Structure 1
Amino acid sequence: MLNIVLFGPPGSGKGTQSKLLQEKYGLIHLSTGDVCREEIKLATPEGLEAKRLIDGGNFFPDKLAYRIVEKFLDSNIDAKGFVYDGMPRHEGQIDVFDGMLAKRNSVVDVVIELKVEEEELIQRLLKRGESSGRPDDGGREVIEKRLGIYEDVTAPIAKRYKGKGVYHSIDAIGTLDNVLERISVLLEKCMAEKLVSVERQ
């Protein structure tokens, strides 16, 4: 099983690239937001708990998010692998995330950060806001605040994964196909190395 963590700032294209990787390699795109929304839609016990918290204006707790993700993993035990989009979201989640995979005799194989210059991100998000009407893409000030939160909260996970020897960064400026090709070259190299390692054991 191949486990890929794909992360990057808002507007870097991680959701789109995750879906393209899903199609190209037969992996499952696991977006924590999408999985949680599906639980709410199905009115599962976890979904009802999540809805109650959200409707009350409360912060979505890590423990509940992980319960929902673990349930999703257990319902897809025959998957070739996963592209994790939105998890881990901060340094404090890394040990829990790694432990969750370890319980399933699995590990994080590759961590990829999509790199885009800030002004390019701002322009992408402003353009997206015009077409989608999303309030979080609605103005430069709001976007800059989101990018600042990413740098403070999510970007530091890179340091931890560098220490584990699985972190890589990819230039995410260019066409979707250009970026996918860069990611694919990296992934295929990592998959080949993993295969050699398994054969030696």
Structure 2
Amino acid sequence: MTPTRNSFDFVDYQGKCRTILLFGMPGSGKGTQGTVLGQLPDLVHISMGDVFRKIPKLGKLGAEIESYTSVGKMVPDDLTVRIFERHIKILELQEFFLPDQQTLILDGLPRNRAQAEQLDASLDVVQIFHLNIDDVKLAMKRLRARALRENRLDDMSDEVIKRRLNTYHEETFQTLSFYPPELVYKIEAGQAMIHVLRDIVNRLSELRNAGIA
């Protein structure tokens, strides 16, 4: 008998994690959209930035992470993937995510081609939302506002912000080419956040109706 699955089942036929990726430069609103989408019962949002920040800084692992993020650098690939896998296991043990019923919404991972290659064996990427924002000044304004709101001092420095934006264009944006172009759905992220959410939800509805996601 041919196995069946619901539209947002997490594990596909090869045992991969059913996943939707959020791509976009810092300040494009990935975290905002991911947080809202994560409230849906069949979606589980994981922000790698949040995962890193919640690791105790006094520990060895936290100190290692802080040495990179505090100056706007990316955490090394192997360490990033290891932390992600550990986080997934914790969520499963706590039953905050059910592998046979839910889909991951990943924000901040993968950040480069090496990470995409390492995760390819475990992630079944069914859609990529590219939150495109051409207004760099708007992105920087959003980052400063978030830094004040969340007391994230690492986002206050223009030098650190510009370094993050440069890293995104040089590494993360290029990661999109690792995936088939038909998976990438571009959304204008310079518009109001509620309109970005509307565009994402409309696309998700189309995918569900087509039996893709």
Match among 93, 109, 112 for residue 87 of structure 1? 109
Judging by fraction of residues, say which structure has more helix: 1
Matches for 1:97-112 after TM superposition, within 5 Å? 97-101=119-123, 107-112=124-129
- TM-score, length-normalised on structure 2? 0.73
Runs of 4+ residues deviating >6 angstroms:
none
Secondary structure of the residue aligned to 1:9 is: coil
- Give the Cα separation in 1 of the matches to 2:53 and 2:157: 26
| Correspondence for 1:50 | 61
CA deviation digits over 1:32-52, x for unaligned, max 9? 2333444x34x9xxx955235
Within the alignment, does 1:165 sit opposite 2:174 as a pair? no
Amino acid at match of 2:138: E
Aligned residue pairs, count: 184
Q: What SS class does the counterpart of residue 113 from structure 1 fall into?
A: strand
The residue type paired with residue 36 of structure 2 is L
Q: How far off its partner does 1:68 sit?
A: 2.7
Q: Which residue of 2 aligns with 1:14?
A: 30
Paired letter, 2:122: M
Select which of 148, 154, 171 maps to 1:136. 154
Q: Which runs of 5+ in 2 are unaligned?
A: 1-9, 11-17, 69-73
1:135, distance to aligned residue in structure 2 (A)? 3.3
Q: Which residue number in structure 2 is paired with residue 194 of structure 1?
A: 211
Select 2:171's aligned residue among 153, 156, 159.
Answer: 153
Report Cα offsets for 1:21-66 as digits up to 9, x if no partner.
Answer: 111454111112333444x34x9xxx955235346x3673322322
Give % identity: 32
Contact 2:126 2:212 in 1 (8 A): no
CA root-mean-square deviation: 2.8
TM-score scaled to structure 1, two decimals? 0.77
